[in-house]
Amino acid sequence: MAPCTTFTGNGKPVKVAIIGAGVAGLTCACELCDRGISVALYERSAQLGEAACSWYAGGMIAPWCERESAEQPVADFGVEAQGWWDMHIDGFQKCGSLVLSMQRDKRDIERFARLTRHHQWLDANAIGRLEPELADRFERGLFYPREAHLDPRRAMHQLAAYLLERGVEIQFNTELQAEDCDCDRVIDCRGFSARDRLPELRGVKGEMLILETAEISLSRPVRLVHLRYPTYVVPREDNLFMLGATMIESERRGSVTARSMLELLSAAYALHPAFAEAEIVEAGVDLRPAYADNLPRLYRKDNIIFVNGLFRHGFLLGPAMARQAADAILNEQLFSELESCASC
């Protein structure tokens, strides 16, 4: 049996174990620690991110842009994310996000604007003031000043350090099932691997590239609107740019396909031709864990809470899911009100 850490919730001792140190497990662990609850966090891989979908994320905290294709709860829960990340990591970038389209796709950006809120239309001059290197390249764009971004890999390491400072050391190389934990409560955050218990989970393949170039500098994520190949570029430190991401209904992780590589690189080139000289330093793939409606859920079964279905919003919605899981751990009434999982 895996040991648990004892703490006091609602005046009575409770033991909590969290399985999986992706963004769901890390945010749940930090949220419980913030409420004075120490936890045990188990991860099957040898190091952070080695087998986590979270490692490949763009790190956009973009509740308003996401509303273009996502349901309202994504925006409602997503607005919680900024405050949470601001409190837990350094280097959280609140520079907004930019949405652009080629002249031939101008109908698509008008549609994007209609479906989203909290944006401003920009002309070519205003785009150039925000991102000087994109000056004169695009006639119109949308700016979402309330959005933000982070580097997911740095953020995961910072959350791990935050936990360590509070006495929680991630137990690596430990592959568990909830039943292996002799605890009052277990939070299962195993991402797509939890499909053995959550058969309605599906995988949505996402492919990404990391490019390196000193020829371009951007301050914020830039999305290129396109009906068939919507893509984005997220700037990172050290002249790195994350370029993503495909959305393919496939549960075969595999490698980045030639077609996806062509689409991603064409989008980068359309954004700025200097990307043609960039070095491709990484090509990554993983399966986003998603339910049919692409919304995350908390399910309850016996003493287990399953936090899953974060789809393309793990960093955006992780904080809200963690808050709900912590509320349910600390409040028996809320725990019993969680949707019970019939299939797991």
Ligand X SMILES: Cc1cc2nc3c(=O)[nH]c(=O)nc-3n(C[C@H](O)[C@H](O)[C@H](O)COP(=O)(O)OP(=O)(O)OC[C@H]3O[C@@H](n4cnc5c(N)ncnc54)[C@H](O)[C@@H]3O)c2cc1C
Q: Which span (36-44, 88-96, 101-109, 120-128) binds ligand X, by CB under 6 A?
A: 36-44
Contacts of residue 247, defined as CB under 8 A and 6 or more positions apart, other chains included, come to 204, 205, 206, 312
Residues 323-342 that bind ligand X (CB under 6 A): none
Angle (deg, nearest 10), helices 314-330 and 81-88: 90
**What values do phi and psi take at 20, rounded to 5?**
105, 120
Residue in 4, 33, 39, 57 binding ligand X, rule: CB under 6 A: 57
Q: Report the half-sphere exposure of 331 (CA within 13 A, side-chain side).
A: 11
Q: Is 319 in the site for ligand X (CB under 6 A)?
A: no
Q: Is 230 in the site for ligand X (CB under 6 A)?
A: no
Residue with Cβ nearer ligand X (52 or 278): 52
Instruction: Give CA separation, 332 vs 114, 178, 191, in Å.
Output: 42, 19, 25
Residue with Cβ nearer ligand X (191 or 230): 191
Site string for ligand X, 191-220 (x = CB under 6 A): x-x------------x-x------------
Residue in 198, 248, 316, 326 binding ligand X, rule: CB under 6 A: 316
Contacts of residue 11, defined as CB under 8 A and 6 or more positions apart, other chains included, come to none
Q: Is 56 in the site for ligand X (CB under 6 A)?
A: yes
Instruction: Give CA separation, 107 vs 137, 226, 296, in Å.
Output: 18, 10, 31
Residue with Cβ nearer ligand X (59 or 96): 59
Q: Whole-angstrom Cα distance, residue 123 to residue 97?
A: 15
Residue with Cβ nearer ligand X (12 or 252): 252
DSSP conformation letters of 130-175? HSGGGTTT-SEEEEETT-EE--HHHHHHHHHHHHHHTT---B-S--
User: What residue spans of the chain are helical by DSSP H?
Assistant: 23-34, 63-66, 72-78, 81-88, 106-115, 124-130, 152-165, 258-271, 314-330, 332-337
Q: 17 has which bridge partners?
A: 40, 186
Q: Which span (33-41, 43-51, 158-166, 223-231) binds ligand X, by CB under 6 A?
A: 43-51
Residues 59-118 that bind ligand X (CB under 6 A): 59-60
Q: 241 has which bridge partners?
A: 211, 235
Q: 288 has which bridge partners?
A: 204
Q: Are 59 and 114 in contact (CB under 8 A)?
A: no
Residue with Cβ nearer ligand X (140 or 320): 320
**What values do phi and psi take at 227, rounded to 5?**
-60, -40
Give me the least distance between CB of 291 and ligand X, in Å please: 12
Give me the least distance between CB of 241 and ligand X, in Å please: 13
Residues 276-315 that bind ligand X (CB under 6 A): 286, 288-289, 308, 310-315
Q: Is 24 in the site for ligand X (CB under 6 A)?
A: yes
Which residue shows structure tokens 């890999």? Answer: 153
Residue in 4, 17, 18, 19 binding ligand X, rule: CB under 6 A: 19
Number of residues that bind ligand X (CB under 6 A): 41
Residue in 32, 39, 176, 248 binding ligand X, rule: CB under 6 A: 176
Site string for ligand X, 240-279 (x = CB under 6 A): ----xx----------------------------------
The footprint of ligand X (CB under 6 A) covers: 19-25, 42-45, 51-54, 56-60, 175-176, 189-191, 193, 206, 208, 244-245, 286, 288-289, 308, 310-316
